[in-house]
Chains A and B, each alone.
Chain A
Amino acid sequence: MTSLPQSTNKKLGLVIDLDTCVGCHACVINCKEWNTSGYGTALSDQDPYGANPTGAWLNRIHTFEVVPDKPKGQGVGEVIGTAGEARVVHFPKSCLHCEDAPCVTVCPTGASYKRSEDGIVLVDEDKCIGCGLCAWSCAYGAREMDLAAGVMKKCTLCVDRIYNEELQEVDRQPACVRTCPAGARHFGDFADPNSNVSLLVAERGGFDLMPEQDNKPVNKYLPPRPRSDLGEGADLGAAHTEESTEGASGLLGWIDRALSPSSKQKEAN
């Protein structure tokens, strides 16, 4: 049914850390690998080895550049960047399993639905007519038509892994989360305030993408961490005080005196 559930028992989803993602596309590849042989029809490619290869993927990495416009920061570790110096942010994007998912309500056939037990948004491919309206309604570009099968494809939150008792416990995670070498993707239940994902969001100030679109996405993004201002660490004034040996005593004081050029030498210089 394409009406949304009033509420869901769990709110399963991902936290994506824009600070740690290195843009390696490993999650993109493993997502395609797992899902092309998993839920629904294969994820087809068109002209895969030709001049114009395209295909359906459920997870994509964009890379953005942000140039801070704020004035120079106030101290080490306090700034998000220095004015004029770009920060490069790798930006993984898959379905955000929205609470108010417009892709579900626009679907004329009932193929798109949101599960009341865990909030996962899925497409029943046997019902999908491939009208594409759900992809039009998704602001995040999280749905792609499979041009070979004529049905809509989207992230399944690896529903065929996370409950799969055939797999070892450690593998009962989405393929993208399991494979990320930087640990930039985290999977969990946002309905539980003490879950790993809820804690991460609280601690790091996780945010929604395009909140103004009123989709109430479940997936959250963590902002890039502040970093030190270039130049702050090599501040000459600071270097002087650090190198000052005035008042040194004991063994260190003796070494300092022994190695320091004598006052006569200083005068000669």
Chain B
Amino acid sequence: MHPALSVISFTTLSGAGYGLAFVLATGHGNPGALSTKIAWFVALALITIGFLSSTLHLGNPQRAWRAVSQWKSSWLSREGCMCFISYVPLCLLAGMSIFYNSFDLTLGYIGAICCAITVYCTAMIYASLRTIASWHTGWTPAFYLAFALTGGTLIYVGFFGPPTGSRSTEIWIYLCMVFLVCSWAVKYGWSHRAERVGYGKSTMESATGLGNIGKVRLLERPHAMGNYLTNEMAFRIGRKHAQKLNRIALLLGLVLPLILLALALQIASVAAFFTIVAALSFMAGVFVDRWLFFATARHAVGLYYGGDDALMPAE
């Protein structure tokens, strides 16, 4: 699939925003502290920037309001609805903290649940597509949720957490390390399956119905130049640099943050700086990983364009 920047930033930024909002809404951070007020602002900003960037790839964004109408059948519509619904508790909580230095735990839990459901809906837009076998699995929402929580927690600890050196910072840093390892473990489960699943049950033979004669090969494609389908769905599978990018994603998203957090535990004087860099590094890793999520995805329509033989760039 074509790795559109707008969709990659939408999923990563709003994921981190909802993750951060989740941490705040479950009662973390002193509502009267300036850092918590800024954290609320940042969470809402991330969510909003992500949401706006998702409208960038629309052909007719002025009609985007219509997208909330089909929540009965469409995960994209559900995602749009949840985005608006979760603004209510999140904005109320942010307002309470920013203007009244207060917090309400019941409203907080409602907000936290809304965050989780919204991220789940985002992931289900992709996981519900039967045409893309590597996405069509429960692993997809699992790793979207895991990355959102880990990103939100890291941003919270890095930028807005309790003062470094305190006992509670240590606990937070340990928690971040656990989250890091767990979320990449879930992602590993997804990748392990994705590498093997290919086009799922579909083949060029089932796509053409000619399999009972023999092996099918594309002799001539229907159009001389590219078209919407080949640009969007038969994107030359991002295999060429996939392995390298995968290593970069792991390095930025897992290894570097773990090392930085471990150092932060040891050297109190630079702990604050290191946790911030760990959070940024993780986000960069997730961004690369999300690029790969799209770029390496095989869409069934690729089978009408010759499948992997035609669409895989040479190593």
- Interface, chain A (partner B; CB < 8 A): 1-4, 18, 28, 52-57, 60-70, 80-81, 87-89, 91, 93, 102, 104-111, 127-133, 135-141, 144-147, 149-152, 207-214, 221, 223-224
- A136/B63 in contact, CB under 8 A: no
Q: Report if A105-B228 is in contact (Cβ < 8 Å); known contacts: A80-B212, A80-B213.
A: no
- A213/B202 in contact, CB under 8 A: yes
In the bound assembly, the distance between CA atoms of A28 and B227 in angstroms comes to 15
Q: Which residues of A contact B72 (CB under 8 A)?
A: 2-3
- B67/A54 in contact, CB under 8 A: no
Q: Which residues of B contact A3 (CB under 8 A)?
A: 72-73
A28 to chain B, nearest CB (A): 8
* B53 in contact (CB, < 8 A): no
Stretch at the interface among B32-40, B129-137, B176-184, B278-286: B129-137
In the bound assembly, the distance between CA atoms of A163 and B305 in angstroms comes to 35
Q: Which residues of A contact B206 (CB under 8 A)?
A: 209-212
Q: Which residues of A contact B300 (CB under 8 A)?
A: 139-140, 210, 213
User: What 10 A-B pairs come out closest when comparing CB atoms?
Assistant: A130-B59, A150-B59, A108-B77, A141-B301, A60-B222, A108-B67, A139-B300, A63-B220, A109-B66, A212-B201
- A66/B209 in contact, CB under 8 A: no
In the bound assembly, the distance between CA atoms of A57 and B228 in angstroms comes to 10
In the bound assembly, the distance between CA atoms of A227 and B67 in angstroms comes to 52
Q: Which of B61, B76, B217 contacts A65 (CB 8 A)?
A: B217
Q: Which residues of B contact A213 (CB under 8 A)?
A: 130-131, 202, 300
A210 to chain B, nearest CB (A): 5
Q: Which residues of A contact B214 (CB under 8 A)?
A: 66-70, 81
Residue of A nearest to B130 (CB): A213
In the bound assembly, the distance between CA atoms of A87 and B216 in angstroms comes to 10
Q: Which residues of A contact B64 (CB under 8 A)?
A: 129
- Interface, chain B (partner A; CB < 8 A): 1, 57-61, 63-64, 66-70, 72-77, 80, 125, 128-132, 200-202, 204, 206-210, 212-229, 232-233, 299-301, 304-305
- A62/B220 in contact, CB under 8 A: yes
Q: Which residues of A contact B130 (CB under 8 A)?
A: 102, 137, 139, 213-214
Q: Which residues of B contact A144 (CB under 8 A)?
A: 227-229
Q: Which residues of A contact B301 (CB under 8 A)?
A: 138-141
Q: Which of B202, B209, B304 contacts A221 (CB 8 A)?
A: B209
Q: Which residues of B contact A208 (CB under 8 A)?
A: 209
Q: Report if A136-B131 is in contact (Cβ < 8 Å); known contacts: A110-B70, A141-B229, A209-B209.
A: yes
In the bound assembly, the distance between CA atoms of A127 and B210 in angstroms comes to 38
In the bound assembly, the distance between CA atoms of A60 and B128 in angstroms comes to 27
In the bound assembly, the distance between CA atoms of A140 and B304 in angstroms comes to 8
